[in-house]
Amino acid sequence: MDKRFEDILKEGLERSLRDKGINDFNTATNIQRGKALTDFYAKEIGQYLYKIYEEDIDDSLCDGKGDLGVDFVYKKDNEWLIFQSKYKGRNSCVTLDEISGFFNIHSRITDQDYFEKHANRFLKDLLIDFKSNDTIQFIFITNDNISRSIEDEFNRLKREHEAKNENIFFELKGLTDLKRDYKSVVSESESISGEVIINVEQLKDTFSEQKRSAYFDLSSVIDKEGKYKSILCTISGNSLRSLWQQHQSKLFNYNIRGFLGENQINKKMKETLAMEPDKFYFYNNGISAICTDLTPELNGHELKAFRCKNFSIINGAQTTTTIGRYKNERHLSEVRILLKITKAEDYKKEKGLNKKIITYNNSQTIIKASDFRSNDDIQIFLENKLPDYSFKGVIPYKKVRYLRKRLKTEKRKENLDVSMESLARALYVFDNEPILIFKGTKYLFDTDSENNGKYWFVFGDAGSEVEMYDTKRLEKTIGIFFLWYKVENKIKSLSKSLKEENKENIKYQALLAKWHILWAYGYVLNTYHKTELETIFRKLATGKIFEATSEVFIERWFSKIHNTVAKCIEKNYKATRKKDGEEMQSFNFKNWLRNNSAFEELVTEFKYMDKSDFPL
C-alpha cells in the first residue's frame, strides 16, 4: 500500500458519509461515523474476506432506533455475519460497557418477545430467516487502538459465551486488525516472489529402527513419465506459523476461496492446539500445495529441505491461518501437519494439472459455486473482451473491467467494475425470473443443466458449454448489464430521496424489489420489442442509445414499472390487514419477494399491457 491505511480509512469514511448527504466529516456525529465505518469495512474488506456479494451490502446495513446494536446483517449459506461498529475520535476509546453491550446482541435477537417488541422493521426483515440455533459470527469493528484491558475483557466474554453455545463466535477488530485485513485483501492477488523453503525433519523409522528424512516421494508411483512430482512430508506448527507470518495471504494466491474467517472448524482447531497439540496431526486433514519447481537441498546425503518456486497452498487456508495466528510457540512445537506438495510444469491455471488440483482439492460444500467457474474459458474470454466496451450513460464514460474473481482491486472512477456474480444475476433475471436470486446464487453457477443448474443457460448456449461469444452475443451480454446499471442507479437515487423525506412507504419497498424491476424490463423487451432486440442491445453496448436527444426508454419506462411493482406489493399488504374483524397474518416483504404466487400476479399485470405502454 502506497498510502497510509489511516488515510485510506478516512477517505473511505468521508465517501460513505457523502453518499448519505453528509459532506463535512467534521460535522458528522460519532454514530454516523460508526455507520460509515461499517459501510467501509463491508465494501472494502468484508466482501473479499467473508465472500459477501457487493450488491447485497447496502441492503444488509441496519440503522436507526431499534437496531438493537446491529449495524450489518448478512447470511451466507447457513451462517450469519453480524457487525457492530464504534468510531472513536482522538480523545475517546472503546469502553468496557460497549464491549459488554456487544455481547448482549445475541440474547436480544434470540429472545423472541424482546425482539418483537424492540427491533425495528429493517432488522426484522434482515433476520426473517434467523433461527436461534443458527451459526453466527459477531464482529466488533472499531478504529480504536485496542487497549490490553479491553482485549482481555473481550477475550474473557468470548470464552464465556462461546462455551455456552458452540454455534456463536466473536471477533474484535481494532485499527491494527483493520489494517491487517485491508492489506490481506489488497495483496490477495499477489504471488510469492522468490522461493519458499520447506524444512524436512529427521525421524526414526519405527519399523526399520533407522533414522531418515521425514518425507515420502510419490513421483514415480503417480507419474511414470516423470512429468510431475509429488511429495508428502510433515511441517511443524512453528514452521508453518513462520511461513504464514512471512507471506500471509500470498500463500493462498491460487486458492479459490482463501481464509473464510472464524467458524466452528477454527474453534475446534484452537481447542486442539490448546489442549492436545500433539494430537493435531491425527485430527487434521493436512495441507495441499502446488509449485512449478521443486528442488531438494541436501546436507551431505541427507535431505535438509525442499525449495519451491511459485508456491501456493490450494487447500488448507483455514489450518494455515489458524496456526499462523496462534501465539503459543511451546504448543506449536508439538504440532505436526501433513503437507502434500505437487510440482506441475504448467504455471498458468487456465489449463492442465494445476487447475484440476485446485478445483478437486476444494470440492467442499463450504465453497461458493461461483469460485469454481472463475477459470472457465468463457470467463477468461469475457475478461479479455468486455473491456472493449464503455458505459456511455454518464460523463465521463466508464470503461468496463470484468472481475471473474472476487479479489480486492483498487476502484477507479473511470472504471465500471462488473463482477461475475453481478453479471450472472442480471443476465438470468432479464431473460427468466427474479425468484431464484433469493434462493442464493448456487444454481446460477451449477453446471448440471439437467438438474436445474443454470450456469450454461446464463453463460452458455441453451444449457450447453461454450468457450466464446460472437459479437451479437457479446453486445447482448454487456447491453443487459448496461441497462441494469442504469436502472440500479435510478433505484439508488430515488431510494435516497425517499429516505431523506422519511417516505419509506410501499413506493420505497418497491424500489427494494430491484430484481423484479429488472425482470420487468426484460419481460417488456422480450415480449413487446422482440424484433428490435438485436438493435437495442447494439445501441446499449456501443452507447448510441444514450446519444439521443430525447429521454432514453429506460428512464421513460421506469415510473410505470415501479408503480406496477408497488401496486402488487400494496395489494398483498392490504390482504394481510384486518378482514371482517379477524386479525390476519402481518405482511412480510421479504416473503413477498420470494413468493411465486406473488410473482405470478406481477406477471399478469404486465400481460394486460401492450407495446403502446412502453414506446422506445
Please give the share of the chain, as a percent, with pLDDT higher than 90. 44
Of the candidates 78, 79, 44, 81, the one whose C-alpha atom is nearest the C-alpha of residue 60 is 81
Contact 368, 441 (CB under 8 A): yes
If one looks up domain 5-185 in CATH, what number appears? 3.40.91
The domain limits of the chain are 5-185, 190-347, 377-613
- List the 195-199 sheet strands across, edge first: 195-199, 302-309, 293-299
Please write the tens of the pLDDT for every residue from 125-152. Answer: 888 888 877 889 999 999 999 999 999 9
Of 343-347, 443-447, 607-611, the least confident: 343-347
- What pLDDT score was predicted for residue 60? 87
Instruction: Check pLDDT > 90 for residue 187.
Output: no
* Spacing of C-alpha 280 from chain mean position: 30
- 523-530 long-range contacts, CB within 8 A, separation 24+: 523/603, 523/606, 524/557, 524/561, 524/606, 524/609, 524/614, 526/431, 527/606, 528/610, 528/611, 528/614, 529/611, 529/614, 529/616
Residue 234: name the closest of 278, 268, 265 by CA. Answer: 278
**pLDDT 10s digits, 239-279:** 999 988 888 767 776 554 444 455 555 677 888 999 999 99
Cβ–Cβ contacts within 10 Å for residue 126, how many? 24
Written as one letter, the residue type at 31 is: I
Total number of residues shown for the chain: 616
In single-letter form, the type of residue at position 199 comes to N
Model pLDDT, residue 77? 64
pLDDT in the model for residue 211: 81
Taking Cα atoms as reference points, which of 352, 349, 357 lies closest to residue 374?
349
Q: Are 543 and 486 in contact (CB under 8 A)?
A: no
Beta-carbon contacts of residue 532 (< 8 Å; ≥ 6 apart): 616
Q: Report the distance separating Cα 240 and Cα 197, nearest Å.
A: 11
The whole-chain average pLDDT of the chain stands at 85
pLDDT in tens, 405-419: 766 667 788 899 999
What separation in angstroms does the CA of 56 have from each of 43, 118, 335, 341, 407?
A: 10, 25, 40, 38, 17
On the question of pLDDT at 363 being above 50, the answer is no
Is 72 within 8 Å of 49 (Cβ atoms)?
no
pTM above 0.85, yes or no: no
Per-residue pLDDT at 311: 87
Beta-strand pair 135-142/168-173: parallel
Cα dihedral 559, 565, 569, 572 sign = positive
CB 234 within 8 A of CB 201: yes
Query: Per-residue pLDDT tens for 466-485?
Result: 999 999 999 999 999 999 99
